Amino acid sequence: MFTPDLLAGRVALVTGGAGGIGQAVAAAMAACGARVVAADLNAPAAPQADAIEYVPLDVTRAPQVAACVDGIVARYGRLDILVNVAGIVSLGSAAGLAEQEWDRVLAINLKGTFLCCQAAMPAMKAAGFGRIVNLGSVLGKNGGNPRPWLDPAEQERASNVAYGVSKAGIVAMTSYLSKELAAFGVTVNTVAPGPVASAMTTGFPQALRNLIPVGRMGRAEEIAAAVLFLAAPQSSFITGETLDVNGGLWAD
Catalytic residue flag (residue 163): yes
Choosing from 54, 76, 163, 176, which is the catalytic residue? 163
Compute the distance between CA of residue 250 and CA of residue 230 in angstroms, rounded to an integer: 20
Give a three-class secondary structure readout of 173-229: HHHHHHHHHHHHCEEEEEEEECCECCHHHCCCCHHHHCCCCCCCCECHHHHHHHHHH
Contacts of residue 220, Cβ cutoff 8 Å, sequence gap at least 6: 20, 21, 23, 24, 196, 197, 198
Contact by Cβ (8 Å): 229, 164: no
Binning the chain into helix, strand and coil, the percentages to the nearest 5 are: 45, 15, 40
Compute the distance between CA of residue 222 and CA of residue 49 in angstroms, rounded to an integer: 19
Contact by Cβ (8 Å): 54, 18: yes
Compute the distance between CA of residue 4 and CA of residue 183 in angstroms, rounded to an integer: 29
Contact by Cβ (8 Å): 161, 94: yes
Active site residues: 163
